[in-house]
Amino acid sequence: MQVSDEIPINQRTIQDIHVGGKTYHCEVIRVKIDQLEFDLANPRMTGKLIGLENYSVEEYRKQFTRAETLDLMRQIVTAGGLIERPFVQKCKGKPDKIKFTIREGNRRFHVLLTIVDAIQNKKKVLSFDNLRLEDYDTIDVVVYPEDMKEKDILVHLSTLHVKGKKDWDAWVKAGTVKKMLEDLGMSENDVAQAIGISKSYIDLYLWAYDKTLEYHNGVGKDDVKWINRFSHFMKLYSRRALRNNWITEKENMDMFMNWVKEDKIKHAFRISGKIGLEDVLADKQVYEWFKVGKNTLNDAIEKIKEKKLRFDATDNMQVDIKSTIHSLHQVLPKMTIETAREIANDPNELKIYEETCDLLNNRMDEISLSKKTSKK
């Protein structure tokens, strides 16, 4: 819905939200964007800013990449204003001008500020010009009630993003689950019920989140893409055989983190593929090869596939041998005298038949020996 021209500033309507069996009546009001501030503790961003203390709004805004905001900017400008209302919370102890903190919709706020700045400086926004400032510097917001507890706000935000919206990735969802458990003291059952995920998924999130932080604070401290490695730990934990045995050994986890750092595991999905890491670990020869130098998991998996193809080819050959013997058994009695004479008079053909007889005799000796051995 486009920002409504029918709602004057400070005229209030109500939007109900339901959290944990409670209904909260949220006011919907229209405000100037200079009355709003970013939520610097927003779960979506704090994961990217781990290790930075007292970071500025400018540092916060730098985390929004052009790639992830470009489509949103195009949507907002094409619609002539903000489509979806942000959820905000009243500020306390802030300068008079700042009235609300944006709890949901920080990326939209960032894009709006970018658009307003361009309009004020008479610059084009994408390919659009002559945009009206009043369409972007005043928006409708949904205000959480002052008596709404932080726990219920976080559950509501998590319900929006963990169960619904796509703009919280798995890393942020995991951090949110961790906050609900550790900071708000919620039980796993409460978290699972509140945001609609299974308890096993909570275990997966927590383990992978902690291991990603351990990687970042250890061997991966210089890895600028360390948050992206979260998916590696997710995939590792998702494999039951690895989860129940291999990852319980510290030596193995140390090796895994080094493999991630050295980019030996380029694609996380390879860890849990139809042929994956556990297959490499089970093949001693391939595993030892994989550990050396810059050999990657992708390469190791290809080696296992090649070995499988060779084994399959061998198996197919054995089937072919049996089939050929059965065919010979059926057709040899039908050989005519004329054919026998032709073979006898052709040295090359005769040699093939003689060698075939020798091979059959040798194999019969082996079959007889195997038969005697099996009886014992």
Q: What is the domain count for the chain?
A: 2
Residue 184 in domain: no
| pLDDT for res 1 | 30
Residue 188 falls within a domain, yes or no? no
- Reported as a single tens digit per residue, the pLDDT across 315-328 is 666 767 777 787 77
Instruction: Please indicate, yes or no, if residue 191 is contained in any of the structural domains.
Output: no
Of 94, 115, 148, the one marking the end of a domain is 148
pLDDT band at 10 (very low <50, low <70, confident <90, very high): low
pLDDT in tens, 115-145: 999 999 999 898 888 899 999 999 999 999 9
Q: Give the pLDDT score at 280.
A: 95
Q: How far apart are CA 374 and CA 364, in angstroms?
A: 15
DSSP annotation of 2 reads P
Position 205 in a domain:
no
- Residue 167 in domain: no
Q: Is residue 112 part of a domain?
A: yes
Average pLDDT over residues 50-55: 56
Mean pLDDT of 202-218: 94
| Beta strands in the chain, from DSSP E residues, in sequence order | 13-19, 22-32, 36-37, 87-90, 100-104, 138-143
Which residues does 43 contact at the CB level (< 8 Å), separation at least 6?
Answer: 157, 168, 172, 175, 176, 179
Kind and range of the H or E run holding 192: helix 188-195
In this predicted structure, which of 93-102, 110-119, 234-243 has the lowest mean pLDDT?
93-102
| Boundary residue ending a domain (130, 148, 166) | 148
Q: Is residue 373 part of a domain?
A: yes
**Structural domain range at position 348:** 335-376
pTM of the complete model: 0.66
Evaluate whether residue 105 is within a structural domain.
yes
Structural domain ending residue among the three candidates 148, 179, 209: 148
User: Distance between the two ends of the chain, CA-based, in angstroms?
Assistant: 84
